[in-house]
Amino acid sequence: MLIPLTFPAYASIQDASSPSISVIESDSNLEQTASFVSWRTENGLHHTAVGSSKGTINVFSFCFTNTPNSDSRARPTLALPSEHNPPSAPSSSPSHSRRHSRSLQSPSSLSFNQALINVSARARVVSGVSREQVEAPKNYVDFEDEPGRLKDILKSNSKPRRTLADSILPSFDRGVVIEQSPAPASPPLLPVLPNSPSGTSSTGKNKGDPKSLLSATTSPTFPSGSLSAPPSPRQLSPPFDDLQSRGTVKESIILDPCRHGHAASAMRYIEVVNLLIVLQESGNLSAFDMRDSSCVATCECTTTRSYQDQFWKWEAIRMVPMGDKTYLILACASPSQPPFAETFGLADEPHDSKARLNMFELSVGDPHGVHQTRFERLASDVWQVDGPAAGIELLMNGSFQLVYINSTNYLVTRYLTIIPAYEIRARGSSPAHSQEDHTSLAIPNPFKVFGSKSVESVAHLGQNHNSGTEQESIPTIATSNLGRVRLGEEESRGVVISSPEFLLEGITARYAGLNERIIGLAWSNTDIMVREQEGSLTTFAVPFRSRGKIQGVHFMDDEAFVVLSDTISHYCLRRVDADDNSATTFSGTSIITQAIQMMTISGGPSLMLSWSRSSPHEVLALRQLRSGQKEILVHTINPRQDVSTKQQHRRLWRSQSPSSGTIPGGATLMSVLPVELNFVLLGYSDGYIRQTSLPCLLQRNDVLFDKVSDVGLPSSILNMHLVRNDRTGERYILGGTDDGGIAIWTLESLKLQARFTPFIVPLARVAQVLQSNETAGPLRGSLLCVSGDGTIAVVSIEGFEMLYLIPGASSPIAHIYAGGDDNNRAILIYADGSARVWDVEPGEFIRATTEEKAKELVDAGGWIDISLDKSELTSISISMFNGSAGPVSLCTLLLSLDRFLKYTSVNVKSSGIALSSSSAPSNATLSQLRAVLSVLLTPGLSPDIDEICENRLGTSPSPSTVGFASAHATTIYHYDHPIHAWSISAKVSADRILAIVSVLRTLSLAEELSQDCQTVITFYSTSLAHVVGPSYQAPDVAYLATQWFDSSNDVRQAAKTLFDAGIVRLSDEESIAFVDAWQHHLPCLQPSIEKESAKSSLALFVCGYMAAEKYSLLSTSSLTDISKSIALYLHDESSAHRGLAIDLCARGFKIWQHYIDAMAMLRALYTLATNTRKETISAQNIGPQARLAVLQIASSNTALFMTTLTLDILNPKTLDQRKAVMQLVAFMIRKRPLILYPNLPRLMEAVVKSLDPNSTASRDAVLDSATEIIGHVVKTFPTVDFHMATQRLAVGTSEGAFIMYDLKTATQLYVLEGHKRRPAACTFSPDGRRLVTMSLEEGVVLVWKVGSSFTSFFNPGAPPRQGHGGSLPFKTLNFNVGDEANMTITGTLEWVKFEWPAERTVRLHIRESVLTFST
């Protein structure tokens, strides 16, 4: 269990006068942005995720206030008036469907609701449509530098009033005249589209109507006043809304690894399931649950990592839904240069335009944790297409379609079928199957009779040209078998891009309308093209101009899209006939499609832009100012508002820290090396190494160092490595600087020993050759310092001299071997499969070969492998990220809670810590525990608990923060109130409270802190829900159960405690639902191969403990399955989960005994409790656990326990079983004598019968155990006594009788009946001829003659004659000790005893009273 701990105070060292710098904002400013995505949740909060080039993601949350767009989640409805609906017809509810019914409304899906605008049929537009592209305004405004000038312009009244029409009307030819009707009664609520048809039918046309390309009956009305059409849609530029920022950095996600070459290159948000899909350029695909930004699934785009993989950059995600909570994800990669390309001179190497693909099925987990969110790779690593990754799209409309633009600019389509996993398993490794094998999943071709349209043919939109006769046919490729993916034949659909200047940057496509026509958009840096397919392929350009690069184009619905650039433009697609009327059909030679620019705003230069379907009226922009600060803006366009409020620019967040990495008068943290818990080294940009400890890092607001290196280097210390001289044992620090230098310091004093500058690029890795490696020759006792370009500097660790410098190669080093025939050579194997042999003496390469040949040489012997990844062992409790880069990752340590608690608990136990202890290890251990606890606790929830923690436990408010570590990423949370720490998610709450309770349990080993620790544990376990309130996220019980399996014993105990508290907290409905979700995965219901799986054992854990606590809520079938599963694990000797079964037996035996063979379960526990064979001893150490379970069952179900016990003693299946049971009896006598006390007569009878002399083998096997049992019984219970010489055993019963046994014959001799109440003790005289019995309740002592007599031979089974007639005792002696006789059974075992001072004198001790009798 890893706990991320972030210490921001040490991120920089600065003067007191310098402004404080936020680590998070510094991280945002310094790192280059690689991806940017935004979304809006149901609670109205807007969120953005900003991915960096080094593998970190910052998640922002914004709360919009006073935004005119009150319903921004509603999809915009851009529609033209319907010819079939009269103007007075009432408006129906706007449709939010992605496909509009054209049988009820206009033939155009952009029909405008006439009831809303009440237009007149006499409106006229007498002009033609210009073929010139609309040019966006070029007046960019920097809202940071010129708000005053902009406000003055907007306040000026020198310009005439402009109306809504000025803003949305497209460009017309000069001389246009617009006839207008009187102003409508109500203002328009939606933008009016030009050339929209009126409510009057256009079937009959008046000859006197103005002749133009626009029908007079299809012109809109506008407010009164003579208007001149502007050359382009009006640029709305209201003043910048500089309200106080309400945006905050909610979380910081650190991906693993976190360094160059692992940028978060693409992100997609799935609104339905609240998941963020992140693709790193290195091929890591991850899914994050955005409730807490934790990584819930991860997968690799390639099955094996190879050198060639580094030449591909995974940069695009395509995604379509497959079913309920199942998504198909296509990851695309382009040929690229690896991070080391420029270093090794590979940056200019040419590469082709192919794209590499892989496909994944994302299955979203359930809320109960039964099924985890997971990726399943569907395709193999060999899938490539001939075309750029930016030109690939994945569509789904009942079937899957792969659409892409190939390298020759042709549109290509392929069928795509996903084969079920069970079918693949059934076929095994069978050869590829043809498409005919899956006719049931065949996909119809939606691109039938596809044509092509070039950019030049936009002027002739009424003419469709079939390009099939103009191009050479592209050969089709046979169906491919790519794992579970089946691809159909490639089908060419025509040329999409004919202009050589059009460099494709991206495409998007969708099925539109009920007729399922496909419409797509392709764009370059500056141009956009539309492609449409109904019966043929139509392509035309979109009128768009902008100075900036097009960053994205998104469909808002079937007929509207938004273009993201320096200007943000909204377009609608309109179909018209030759008379410019809205078309009623979707095909025909006279039907053309127009892209009409509805509105545009100037957003200014931005690093990244993001539009989301969940908030279609907002475009979020990430900008970087001249000062280096970054800010996030929202550009809002709401077509339902008046012109004055239609557009808003609002700043949501701006970083307050400068982006420069240098701090005036200070230094920035550049590297961290945790050596021990109290010895952490920090390397800074001023060239100094500083030593501190974990408590100082976590608890201090000010910067405090124990030591500082004696000499500062002129450059930053980028990395540090711990090395050791294996001859002297002294340890050193080897550091690399940003100028290519190497420096060595002593670890203890931080004194600089040597410094070299051998490299051009910084040090990357360090390997050490030990002195004991004689095969290494001249390299013995040296350090191999490998730079980023592969150059190796060989440095002697004895004299700190640089011995050799081995040149680099064209790829990174993978392996180094030293030795050879004369121990004078080194073999260097590189990542690209090449190898070279270096001769140490002349200092040159003598041979170049391949990796295979080099491995053959090594296998011949005489070589040692020099590991590049193994270094001197540092702290096992704390570690750093793999390739930490950036302030947040550098300032975060990963604490292994299991190892930390194991180390500290051993120190606490061994030293017997008390607060007054003065031993140094004890104080250091307490400081470490207090430091970690200070970060985990959330002060401010309860003043009383805060007082206990600060004044008694010694904690203090910490400036550090705690995060959540998952499989592939670590999330750091940022909040300003302690309540927020418990309002993130159930999983995060469980993780944090588990860490708190675990640390407190360890801290409670100090006796003086035990009670206060328990008080704090109780508060955090039971009272948080009341203190935090409705926002409290109760700990996830499934997560706690998982930690019980995965953690060490220190954490397991805490997890079990919290799990028990969690299931008690669940309501009845929640408990039933929880069990219903898990019970189908119980072991007894699984096939043999799955019975031992993690899911099955976890199901038994959660269902078993839930049943033990709330069995009345569960059905009989559920309880039966749980009981069978427990028995299954218990009886399986090879099961790794017998410990779980034993614990559940002890917890709910009274429940399970009704559904399974209870005696068989008890016998299994007996065996486990007493088994001492070496082959049965496992790492689980289940023997003590089984003995505790037996004790608990014996206490709660004594009758069944004793019955089983006696039956197994009398009638065992094997001698080993009888011996084991008798060992268990001895154990019970020592641990729980009161359980056996009422059943002593039955137990002793069984023991005696086991010694039957007629069964010699049986008697010999159990003799030792029986003797041990009798000895323990006599020593423990006063009512049983044994005389060694005569082999007589006397056993008292609760009815007052005493039974006499002869152990030589294993028979019962007779019964002495003299007491009327329960006896308290008995004893034999030294010669064995008298038996004295005593009853405290009667206050009487009875003396019996028990020696052998002559009459015994004639009356066997009868007691000896007592000297008078009848069965009365030989003597009856009364006594009275008053209140001392009033005692419990436990008291009699302790305070009543006999002793014989003489042959016929007995002394009775009752508490403090002593009575002497003559026998």
Q: Contact 701/718 with Cβ under 8 angstroms?
A: no
Question: What's the confidence (pLDDT) of residue 1040?
Answer: 92
Q: Sheet holding 1409-1414: strands in order across?
A: 1392-1398, 1401-1406, 1409-1414
Catalogue the E-assigned strands of 583-708. Answer: 592-602, 608-612, 615-624, 630-637, 647-654, 667-676, 679-684, 689-692, 707-708
CA distance 427 to 372: 27
Question: What's the confidence (pLDDT) of residue 871?
Answer: 61
Number of alpha carbons in the 13 Å side-chain half-sphere of residue 996 = 28
CA distance 652 to 605: 17
The β-bridge relationship of strands 742-746 and 264-270 is: unpaired
Q: Classify residue 1314 as left (phi > 0), alpha (psi -120 to 50) or beta.
A: alpha
Query: pLDDT, tens digit, for every residue of 826-854?
Result: 889 888 888 999 888 888 888 888 888 98
SS3 712: coil
pLDDT above 50: residue 1070: yes
CA distance 986 to 996: 15
Q: What is the mean pLDDT of residues 42-57?
A: 87
DSSP 1081: G
More confident residue, 237 or 260: 260
CA distance 839 to 842: 6
CA distance 1125 to 1115: 16
Query: pLDDT, tens digit, for every residue of 1226-1278?
Result: 888 888 888 888 888 988 998 898 888 888 877 887 888 888 889 889 999 99
More confident residue, 1253 or 28: 1253
**CA-to-CA separations, 1189 to 468, 1205, 1228, in angstroms, rounded:** 81, 15, 12
SS3 300: strand
Q: What is the DSSP string of 628-662?
A: S-EEEEEEEE-TTS-GGGSEEEEEEEE--S-S-S-
CA distance 537 to 529: 13
Q: What is the mean pLDDT of residues 45-63?
A: 87
CA distance 1064 to 1040: 14
Query: pLDDT, tens digit, for every residue of 1188-1231?
Result: 888 888 888 888 888 888 887 777 777 777 777 877 888 888 88
Question: What's the confidence (pLDDT) of residue 658?
Answer: 58
pLDDT above 90: residue 768: no
Question: What's the confidence (pLDDT) of residue 589?
Answer: 54
Beta bridge partners of 1324: 1331
* % of the chain at pLDDT higher than 70: 74
Q: Classify residue 1200 as left (phi > 0), alpha (psi -120 to 50) or beta.
A: alpha
* % of the chain at pLDDT higher than 90: 18
Question: What's the confidence (pLDDT) of residue 64?
Answer: 59
**CA-to-CA separations, 196 to 35, 803, 869, in angstroms, rounded:** 39, 83, 70
pLDDT above 80: residue 1027: yes
Highest mean pLDDT among 58-67, 114-123, 452-461: 58-67
Question: What's the confidence (pLDDT) of residue 1246?
Answer: 87
CA distance 780 to 797: 10
Q: How many CB atoms lie within 10 A of CB 834?
A: 18
Q: Write out the two tokens for 1374.
A: 């009364």
More confident residue, 1265 or 685: 685
pLDDT above 90: residue 467: no
Q: Write out the two tokens for 1405.
A: 């001790």
pLDDT above 60: residue 504: yes
More confident residue, 1140 or 397: 1140
CA distance 1047 to 1053: 10
Angle in degrees, CA 618, 621, 624, rounded to 5 = 160
Q: Contact 544/521 with Cβ under 8 angstroms?
A: no
Q: pTM higher than 0.85, yes or no?
A: no
With bands split at pLDDT 50, 70 and 90, how would you rate the model's confidence at 424?
Answer: low
Q: Omega of the bond prior to 939 within 30 degrees of 0, cis?
A: no
Q: Write out the two tokens for 525.
A: 């840096």
Query: pLDDT, tens digit, for every residue of 703-722?
Result: 788 889 988 898 899 889 89
Question: What's the confidence (pLDDT) of residue 1253?
Answer: 87
Which residues does 944 contact at the CB level (< 8 Å), separation at least 6?
none
Question: What's the confidence (pLDDT) of residue 1209?
Answer: 79
pLDDT above 90: residue 278: yes
The candidate with the shortest Cα–Cα distance to 370, out of 416, 325, 314, 429, is 325
Question: What's the confidence (pLDDT) of residue 537?
Answer: 65
More confident residue, 163 or 1279: 1279
Q: Write out the two tokens for 1394.
A: 């006999």
Q: What is the mean pLDDT of residues 1173-1199?
A: 73
Beta bridge partners of 742: 736, 756
pLDDT above 70: residue 97: no
Highest mean pLDDT among 70-79, 784-793, 1295-1304: 1295-1304
pLDDT above 90: residue 1122: yes
Question: What's the confidence (pLDDT) of residue 1355?
Answer: 64
Phi, psi of 289 (to 5 degrees): -80, 110
Question: What's the confidence (pLDDT) of residue 120?
Answer: 36
Q: What is the mean pLDDT of residues 1299-1323?
A: 92
Question: What's the confidence (pLDDT) of residue 457?
Answer: 29
With bands split at pLDDT 50, 70 and 90, how would you rate the model's confidence at 872?
Answer: low
Query: pLDDT, tens digit, for every residue of 1377-1402?
Result: 888 888 899 899 989 999 999 988 99
The β-bridge relationship of strands 264-270 and 844-850 is: unpaired
With bands split at pLDDT 50, 70 and 90, how would you rate the model's confidence at 608?
Answer: confident
The β-bridge relationship of strands 248-255 and 264-270 is: unpaired
Query: pLDDT, tens digit, for every residue of 878-934?
Result: 787 776 667 788 888 888 888 888 888 887 777 654 544 444 455 788 888 998 999
pLDDT above 80: residue 94: no
pLDDT above 50: residue 212: no
pLDDT above 80: residue 2: yes
Q: Contact 339/789 with Cβ under 8 angstroms?
A: no
From 238-242, 1162-1166, 1213-1217, the region with the lowest mean pLDDT = 238-242
Q: Contact 1296/1313 with Cβ under 8 angstroms?
A: yes
Compute the mean pLDDT over every residue in the chain, rounded to the nearest whole number. Answer: 76
Q: Contact 304/283 with Cβ under 8 angstroms?
A: no
CA distance 111 to 560: 12
Query: pLDDT, tens digit, for every residue of 314-334?
Result: 889 998 888 777 888 888 888
CA distance 763 to 713: 15
Q: What is the mean pLDDT of residues 680-685?
A: 90
Q: Contact 347/329 with Cβ under 8 angstroms?
A: no
From 114-118, 481-485, 1096-1100, 1134-1138, the region with the lowest mean pLDDT = 114-118
Q: Contact 49/267 with Cβ under 8 angstroms?
A: yes
Which residues does 439 contact at the CB level (< 8 Å), separation at least 6?
none
Amino acid occupying residue 84: H
Which residues does 93 contact at the CB level (< 8 Å), separation at least 6?
none
CA distance 291 to 311: 35
Question: What's the confidence (pLDDT) of residue 302?
Answer: 83
With bands split at pLDDT 50, 70 and 90, how would you rate the model's confidence at 448?
Answer: very low
List helix spans (H) across 509-599: none
Number of alpha carbons in the 13 Å side-chain half-sphere of residue 782 = 21
The candidate with the shortest Cα–Cα distance to 1131, out of 1151, 1156, 1098, 1114, is 1156
Residue showing tokens 């020099």: 866
From 34-48, 333-347, 589-603, 1355-1369, the region with the lowest mean pLDDT = 333-347
The candidate with the shortest Cα–Cα distance to 582, out of 217, 229, 171, 164, is 217
More confident residue, 136 or 957: 957
The β-bridge relationship of strands 892-896 and 878-879 is: antiparallel
pLDDT above 80: residue 1082: yes
Q: What is the DSSP string of 1166-1220?
A: HHHHH---GGG--TT-HHHHHHHHHHHHHHH-HHHHHHHHHHHHHS-SSHHHHHH
DSSP 758: -
DSSP 951: I
CA distance 713 to 743: 9
